[in-house]
Structure 1
Amino acid sequence: MALDKDTYLAKKTRLVALVIAASMCLWIGAQWIGSKLGMDPRYAVLLDLLALAAFLWALIVIYQIWRARQQG
């Protein structure tokens, strides 16, 4: 049973790492492309908010993982 929980938490941790890395790369790329193409600032803000949403989701899931490990 503990192995199943550890495996589940490891998969969740990998997913969080992937989301953080992907959202950061996409955000940086979108900012760079947007500046080159003269993107409207409101779209840049929208991209910023999407990146923040991804980071907030990751933070919440990291907290859930931490709590699950604290409980045993």
Structure 2
Amino acid sequence: MSTDKEQAMARKGRHIGVVIAVTMLAWLALSLFVGPALSLPGRYALLFDFAALAGLIYAVINIFQLWRMRQDSQR
């Protein structure tokens, strides 16, 4: 396996980790602290939940792509 492919896979893995961490931190901050502090209605909590779900779905798609990259590189 070439070094370029290894670096690309490592970069994609770091990207996925950052996406998951930022998504969860933003979701927790918005749902638990910012929303109640601003007295936002409950429908905004649902909006924050859907935004977090979209971020996690994006991460799962990228995890699948990374898995495929690793499978292809082993052949």
Indicate whether the TM-score tops 0.5: yes
- Matched with 2:62 is 61
For 2:8, the aligned partner's letter is Y
State the one-letter code of the partner of 1:34.
Answer: G
The answer as to 2:15 corresponding to 1:15 is yes
User: Cα distance, 1:70 vs. partner?
Assistant: 0.8
Query: Offset at 1:30?
Result: 0.4
SS of structure 2 residue aligned to 1:39: coil
- TM-score for both structures, normalised by structure 1: 0.91
Q: Which whole-Å CA distance do the structure 2 matches of 1:7 and 1:68 have between them?
A: 12
Matches within 5 A, 1:1-72: 2-32=2-32, 33-72=34-73
Structure 1 residue 38 displacement after superposition: 2.1
Where in structure 1 are there 5+ consecutive unaligned residues? none
CA-CA distance at 1:42 after TM superposition = 1.3
Number of corresponding residues: 72
Runs of 4+ residues deviating >6 angstroms: none
TM-score (norm 2): 0.88
Cα distance in 1, alignment partners of residues 30 and 52 from structure 2: 11
- In percent, how many aligned pairs have the same letter? 40
RMSD across aligned C-alpha pairs, in angstroms? 1.2
